[in-house]
Amino acid sequence: MQKSYTLLVTCLLLAAAQSFSQVCSTCSIDYAWISPGVYPDTLPPATAGEFYESDITFVMQDDTTVDVVGTLEFLNYHILEPVGMPYGMNVSTNLGDLPVDYDPDVSLYGCARVCGTPLVPGWYEVTVPLIATLEYPGGDQAAEYSIFLEVLPAVPEDGGIIPSLTYGCDPINVDFETSIHSDGIDGFTYSWDFGNGVTSNDEFPPTQTYNAVGGVPTDYVVSHTITIDTFGYQLEYATIVSSGCDDCTFFGCTGLIETEKPDLYLIIDALGINTEDEAFIDTSPPVTITLGAALDPGATYTMQMKDDDGGLAGGDDNCGSFTFGGDDVGISTLTAGSHTVEISITHPVISYTFYDTITVYPAVTTPEITLSGATTFCSGDSLVLSTTEVDGINYQWSMDGDPIPGADSTSLVVFASGGYALSATGVGGCFAESSATAVTVYEQPTPPSIIVIGNTLNTTSTWDVQWYYNGSPIPSATSTTYTPAVEGLYQVAAINGPCIAYSVEINFIFQSLNDLLIDKITISPNPNNGAFSATFNVLKNQNISITVQNILGSTIYQKNYENVSGSMQENILLQGVNSGVYFLQIKGETGSIIEKIIIQ
């Protein structure tokens, strides 16, 4: 739309040269009209800055009745240029540009096309003057018709006001731009009322600040008026309303002879105007003369009305002298004795007023997060994040920048590591977000197991470990194996950050192979695929237990024997187990022997 307004401004600057230069295309006659007249007398509305065209059909009379004389036929219709046309528009007829002559014997129908790009909005009454010639003794008869046309103001798509923002959250700063720029040309004035108590007459106004009043959405109505005064002053036409001049003989006027009527014309020397060549021959007022002359608003002009007598009786009659100012805008009636002239001076000033609304929504306070618990904890535990609810606010929790589905309340139970933030959204989409709360969740280790191999304590935990003796940590005892120096209660802890899991305490007693009453243990094959044999010798009749455990301490094979002794062989088949390290334990009444098994 900015482009169309640039074109409009260009048209304004060239209006004086272009207003009557357009030639309309051929009009179409509507033969549906049968009564004499002009159809329609009110044209469809036009819009300033947009091309327009519309057709008019006129039906002429073939005769008329005159008192005393009777019925007289019309011989010719001489249609003159219209007066009062909107700037930028023209009229062409089916016989060509005005003025034209219509012969009723040829056709009683004619048409005209109104076309062009109107520039100045307003309601126009366009006057079409004509001279109708009757057969003798009727002569020339002046008449005129009125056509009405409304030119609507141009309304750009952007409303004439181009704001950088039309809404936002308190506070907002808005830059404004007009849709119609002067481009440095004189004659443009600007008026701004920003609705916030600030006004400006600048083409490029300063930035405006708006706030939400009382914590509720607030509307500010902005108005902007552009006045364009780039046209000059122009004398459009003069209508001779009455004149005491006539061409009667010395014996007076009979009122029946056509040549008794005056042959009127106008002279304005200062403007170089002399319409004698176009004088209205044998025509009584009113007659309208189209002038279209540019005026100096500071000058005073003298206009003379003459009756062309062709040198008869000593020269043309002087029918009055009239004075007017170049800035007498409007229609003025000038009188000199019995002579009256009506003139029209135009000086179009275009004014556009546009409106827009700036809406400011209340700002949203950044939510404050309350913690119910530590931000570092073990899996299986949790942390509650919460805020105080505010009416009219929608909440959304996010983790590491991504919204958490369904987490739209004022509290959130956290189970996993991440950065947690809470956003608050109010009316108009106003938004605030808390800083992220970093949460670290450590995996809770599984309780480790202790495997006694000979006089060495072993654990299969994959976490960091700490050995304990009689409930106290043993300094530097952080390996997966520990060889006790003394007998007593031993325990191992698996550690992951702050998370600790303890094994069951065992009562460690030093043992010798003789004490076990079990010896000569052999595993074959080892490594194996899960099928192997264990042979050993039981030195004393006793109950024994044979088990296989994985590195997590889980028993995957177990078999018990009562009151056995001597050489024994246990054939073991472990099905569906993963490759890795396993432990075979043979436990008797006085202790146990543990052997490592590798399954491939």
Nearest to 235 by CA among 131, 327, 102: 327
pLDDT in tens, 435-452: 999 999 999 999 998 888
Lowest mean pLDDT among 133-137, 155-159, 221-225, 325-329: 155-159
Give the distance, in angstroms, between the CA of residue 49 and the centroid of all CA atoms in the same chain.
25
Domain 512-600 class in CATH: mainly beta
Question: What DSSP line would sit under 398-467, residue for residue?
Answer: EETTEE-TT--SSEEEE-S-EEEEEEEE-GGG-EEEPPPEEEEEEPPPPPP-EEEETTEEEE--SSEEEE
Question: What DSSP line would sit under 175-201, residue for residue?
Answer: -EEESS--TT-TTEEEEEE-SSS-EE-
Residue 5 has pLDDT above 50, yes or no: no
Beta bridge partners of 11: none
Residue 433 has pLDDT above 70, yes or no: yes
Hey, how many other C-beta atoms are within 10 angstroms of the C-beta on 168? Answer: 20
CATH node for 364-442: 2.60.40.10
Q: Where in the chain is the domain with CATH 2.60.40.10?
A: 1-154, 161-230+352-358, 364-442
pLDDT class of 256 with cuts at 50, 70, 90: low
pLDDT in tens, 288-344: 888 989 999 999 999 999 988 765 445 788 899 999 999 999 889 999 999 999 999
CATH fold of 161-230+352-358 reads Immunoglobulin-like (2.60.40)
CB contact at 8 A, 95 and 49: no
Which uninterrupted H or E stretch holds 515? helix 513-516
d(CA 45, CA 26): 20
Q: Average pLDDT, whole number, for the chain?
A: 88
Q: What local confidence, expressed as pLDDT, does residue 4 receive? A: 39
d(CA 135, CA 140): 9
Q: What local confidence, expressed as pLDDT, does residue 18 receive? A: 41
Q: Is 90 or 387 the better-scoring residue by pLDDT? A: 387
Q: What local confidence, expressed as pLDDT, does residue 513 receive? A: 52
Which amino acid is present at 379?
A: S
pLDDT in tens, 354-399: 999 999 999 999 999 999 999 999 999 999 999 999 999 999 999 9
CB contact at 8 A, 523 and 534: yes
Q: What local confidence, expressed as pLDDT, does residue 453 receive? A: 79
- When pLDDT is averaged across residues 277-293 and rounded to a whole number, the result is 83
Output the six-digit token pair for 53.
């065209």
Q: What local confidence, expressed as pLDDT, does residue 9 receive? A: 45
Lowest mean pLDDT among 141-145, 354-358, 401-405, 524-528: 141-145
d(CA 388, CA 369): 8
- Percentages helix, strand, coil for the chain, rounded to the nearest 5? 5, 55, 40
Residue 250 has pLDDT above 70, yes or no: no
CATH fold of 1-154 reads Immunoglobulin-like (2.60.40)
Q: What local confidence, expressed as pLDDT, does residue 155 receive? A: 67
Q: Is 406 or 88 the better-scoring residue by pLDDT? A: 406
Alpha helices (H) along 120-177: none
Output the six-digit token pair for 7.
């074109």
Maximum separation of any 2 CA atoms in the chain, in Å: 178
Q: Going by C-beta distance under 8 Å and a sequence separation of 6 or more, which residues neighbour residue 473?
A: 466, 467
Q: Where in the chain is the domain with CATH 2.60.40.1930?
A: 512-600
Tell me the residue length of the chain.
Answer: 600
CB contact at 8 A, 382 and 373: yes
Looking at the whole model, is its pTM more than 0.75? no
pLDDT class of 61 with cuts at 50, 70, 90: very high
Q: What local confidence, expressed as pLDDT, does residue 551 receive? A: 75
